[in-house]
Structure 1
Amino acid sequence: MNSWQSLQKNQFMGNLPLRAIFEDTLTIFWGEWLDLRARMAQIASTGLISPLIYVLAFGLGLGNTIDRVSTPAVGDSYLEFILPGMVALSSMTISFGGTTFSICGDRLFSKTFDELLLLPVHPLALHLGKVLAGIVRGLMTAFSVIVVAILFTGKVFSFINPLFILVLILNCAVFAGIGVIIGLRVKSLESVGLYNNFLIVPMSFLGGTFFSPESLPMALKVIVYLLPLTYTTTALRSAAYEPINLFPWYSIPILLIIAIALSFVGAYQFSHQQE
């Protein structure tokens, strides 16, 4: 471990220079943004395919059958019910995958990650800068899905309101934070595929995207509410269709606490990272 990494390790548990961390975070993010802005259309469309397939297969195909026999818990149709979940799903996938592959690319292929570790910035700023880039990635794709949702429903302000956007940003922060930690730990791209198969894919189907968690038996409900995506889907669904007094306000502090905890784990990982 070089002298600067040793200094970072010593500073990690000390007083956090908040202004310096803020400025360094923006510096790290700006470096990411220079790459992101050249690929905005690609990033926005990357996570759009799966939600569109789900909308066509489940929302329009299966949804027409479901609407004949039952009424969704929220929304006027099953298609409307799953659309907020599609927004959550797309933001999760791209925030996690884009962040993970960005770090892996620097570490395993371009071999430029050592230069990042040598920068005179706090480990927390390194993590937060990467997370901010992951949030932007997730929002790019999520807004593409939101446009699709508006086209299908005609409900503009259901999907574009402050509460909906706040929950969406927190969701991106959580999964970008997970992406940073995994990107720092994996030894190959095959390992990223394993995390995706055993973490992201199961959460896509079990995170309340296609069903209401309240309808589950208690044992399954406990498992489902251990997943952060569940809090996002239920909160987005409520923000889109229900009056504000029915909004699950507990979702916001839960997602925020998870994002903060991941930030300190990521900062610790950066302070001990060796390539």
Structure 2
Amino acid sequence: MDFYAVLWRELIVLKRGFWKFFASRLVNPLLYLIAFGWGIGRSVQMSQGSYLEFVIPGIVALSAMTTSFGAAGTPLNMARLYHKTLEEYLIAPVSTFSFVMGRVLAATLRGLLAALIILGLALLFRTHLPLGAAFLLVLFLTCFLFSALGVVAAMTINSHEDMANFTTFVIMPMSFLCGTFFSTSKLPMGVRQLIELLPLTHTNLALRQLASHGPFPWTALAVLLAYSLFFFALAVYTVRHCQD
């Protein structure tokens, strides 16, 4: 399919700026690991294992979400509103489906790389998480759905400032409330039920269950798949609507 052309272009961009991307993905996770591993983590007691073992899957999920969303949303929003280069894609002999698929897969790859960087850093803290097929599948679906959400945001938000506001009001609350740094079981019932509807909550749940060799997270996997299909279909619709 012709989405390869879009994906290949994004891979070339990633290759040219790989080391800059790699370095930028190291800073925040390393600070989180130092703070929660050597700092706060030493004074926090968990019923099963150390707090560092609890928080690393959350940091992996957080980085996968923010990297994928940013990699898909910000460049596309800039291309549409400021660089005026989106039209070059829209008039090219590439279908809307292929254009969206190429952009989403490219951002998904960046999210996966960011997650793998954190897993590598975790080894420095003597913490190892199992990288089985199910673990990688959960990460892939997480990166894919937030990449697709990034495309939706980029195509519907009409200023760079509003794009930042979307991150503030949607992405940031999920970062802190969806069980990244603490268990959602401690929250009030109504708040917990609302948070359990959000995709990052299911990513954190699935990664922790897989890391602790718990029961297979079928429900969480189904929710992530449903979000992936919904956001991707919405992304295709918004790009196609932009052409009308």
What band does the TM-score fall into relative to the shorter chain?
Answer: over 0.9
Unpaired stretches in structure 1, ≥5 consecutive residues: 1-22
The amino acid of 2:132's aligned partner reads N
2:177 pairs, out of 194, 197, 206, with 206
Q: Does the CA contact (< 8 Å) of 1:131 and 1:177 recur in 2?
A: yes
Residue pairs, 1:212-251, within 5 angstroms: 212-243=183-214, 246-251=215-220
User: Does the aligned pair in 1 maintain the 2:65–2:146 contact within 8 Å?
Assistant: yes
Which residue number in structure 2 is paired with residue 123 of structure 1? 96
Per-residue CA deviation, residues 31-63 of structure 1 (Å, 9 max, x unaligned), is 211111111222233233222222222332111
TM-score by length of 1: 0.84
- Secondary structure (helix, strand or coil) at the match of 1:47 reads helix
What SS is found at the alignment partner of 1:226?
A: coil
Tell me the secondary structure at the aligned position of residue 141 of structure 1. Answer: helix
Q: Could you give the per-residue CA deviations for residues 235-256 of structure 1, whole angstroms, max 9, x where no partner exists?
A: 111111224xx12211111111
CA distance in 1, matches of 2:130, 2:178: 19
Identify if the C-alpha distance between structure 1 residues 93 and 79 changes in structure 2 by more than 3 Å, giving closer, same or farther.
same
Shift of 1:146: 0.7
Question: Matched residue of 2:232: which SS?
Answer: helix
* Counterpart residue identity of residue 205, structure 1: F
Among 141, 162, 167, which residue is 1:191 paired with?
162
- Report the Cα distance in structure 1 between the residues aligned to 2:132 and 2:17, rounded to whole angstroms: 27
Helix, strand or coil: the match of 1:208?
Answer: coil
- What corresponds to 1:99 in structure 2? 72
Of residues 225, 240, 244, the one that matches 1:271 is: 240
Any idea what the Cα deviations from partners look like across 1:54-85, whole Å, max 9, x if unmatched? Answer: 22223321111112xxx24x5x2001100011
- Alpha-carbon distance change, 61 to 154 in structure 1, aligned in 2, over 3 angstroms: closer
Instruction: Report how far residue 28 of structure 1 moved.
Output: 1.5
Aligned length: 244
Residue 186 of structure 1: how far off its partner (Å)? 1.9
Q: CA deviation at 1:185?
A: 1.6
Aligned to 2:142: 171
Q: Deviations over 1:217-273 (max 9, x none)?
A: 321220111210010011111111224xx1221111111111111111111111111
Paired position in structure 1 for 2:10:
32
Q: Which residue of 2 aligns with 1:145?
A: 118
Matched, 1:58 2:43: no
What does the per-residue CA deviation read over 1:151-198, in whole Å, with 9 as the maximum and x for residues that have no partner? 21342xx24221111100110001101101111122221111101111
Give the C-alpha shift of residue 24 in structure 1. 1.8
Tell me which amino acid in the other structure corresponds to 1:108: L
Partner of 1:45: 23
Give TM-score scaled by structure 2 length.
0.94
1: CA distance, partners of 2:19 / 2:204: 25
Moved beyond 4 Å, runs of 4+: none
Secondary structure of the 1:153 match is coil
1:256 and 2:229 matched: no
Mapped to 1, the partners of 2:153 and 2:13 lie a distance apart of 21
Distance 2:216 2:42 in 1: 27
- 1:273 is paired with a residue whose SS is helix
Larger radius of gyration between Structure 1 and Structure 2: 1
**Structure 2: gaps of 5 or more residues:** none
